[in-house]
Amino acid sequence: MNYNRADLLDRLASEYVLGTLHGAARRRFDKLLIESPAARAAVRAWEQRLALLAAPVPPVAPPSRVWSATEARIASTAASTAAGRGPQRLWWSSLWKPALGFAFGAALTFALVQLMPGAFVSLDGLAQREQALPQSYVGLLQDSEGLPTLLISSTRHGTRVTVKSLRPVVVPAGKVAQVWALPKEGAPFPIGVAVPTKPHGGTAFEMSATSEKLLSTVTRLAVSFEGVPAQAGATPGDFILIGPCLKLW
């Protein structure tokens, strides 16, 4: 099926949200949602339109066991982070998480921008930590499900870029993980290649100029899988990871 036709995409999105798209077609569309920002946007628009219809559905208080079970599960995932999804959380990761989570949200959500003063006051010691960090450009790249996956950072006047994996990134054989900078205006440009890393592994690469020079107008960073390291002027393939790039000072 040709998903590129805007009207067809919109129709599929509408029936997806309505719930009448099912079977193999629904699964295909689920897959498409991971790959296509246009499909995600169409679905979001339909969710907005149709969610109005759920407003008067009578609320029914769920039994308290739902909360107990939910709470137990999030507690166990938090505890099993040590063994499961995020093994051996590094000291910096717990240190950075509030700061980055905050910065990331601020970039994307107006609400969080409003929250900013409160968050800084209430997130204990955050300001202190931030003072301890060097002036840096920091990118937090997420996968298609929105899970933070790569942390890319570089000091303001340095050329060395540090890459940390928060989740495993599997680079297909014969491909490289190309890091792109997406300026506020203009085309994405390649800044380097990140070597595939294990969860919580690290790597680094050198850029052709300082962060300040290259990244000052960059609002997002992204990673695509390319056959060969991209040269200046190259067009990126599909972004596998993407996220905001922030000035941390």
Contact residues for another protein (CB under 8 A)?
10-11, 14-15, 17-20, 22-23, 26, 44, 47-63, 65-67, 69-71, 73-74, 77-78, 97-98, 101-102, 104-105, 108-112, 114-115, 119, 123, 142, 145-148
Complex with another protein: residue 91 or 110, whichever CB lies closer: 110
Complex with another protein: residue 71 or 206, whichever CB lies closer: 71
Query: Rounded to the nearest whole angstrom, what is the least distance from the CB of residue 92 to another protein in the complex?
Result: 16
In angstroms, the CA 150 to CA 222 distance is 10
In angstroms, the CA 137 to CA 216 distance is 9
Query: Rounded to the nearest whole angstrom, what is the least distance from the CB of residue 139 to another protein in the complex?
Result: 15
How far from chain centre, in Å, is Cα 12?
26
Complex with another protein: residue 230 or 242, whichever CB lies closer: 242
**Half-sphere CA count of 168, side-chain side, radius 13 A:** 7
Complex with another protein: residue 114 or 208, whichever CB lies closer: 114
Query: Rounded to the nearest whole angstrom, what is the least distance from the CB of residue 69 to another protein in the complex?
Result: 5
How far from chain centre, in Å, is Cα 59?
33
In angstroms, the CA 12 to CA 6 distance is 10
The answer to whether the CB of 141 falls within 8 A of the CB of 221 is yes
Complex with another protein: residue 57 or 232, whichever CB lies closer: 57
In angstroms, the CA 129 to CA 140 distance is 18
Query: Rounded to the nearest whole angstrom, what is the least distance from the CB of residue 108 to another protein in the complex?
Result: 5
The answer to whether the CB of 140 falls within 8 A of the CB of 104 is yes
Query: Rounded to the nearest whole angstrom, what is the least distance from the CB of residue 137 to another protein in the complex?
Result: 20
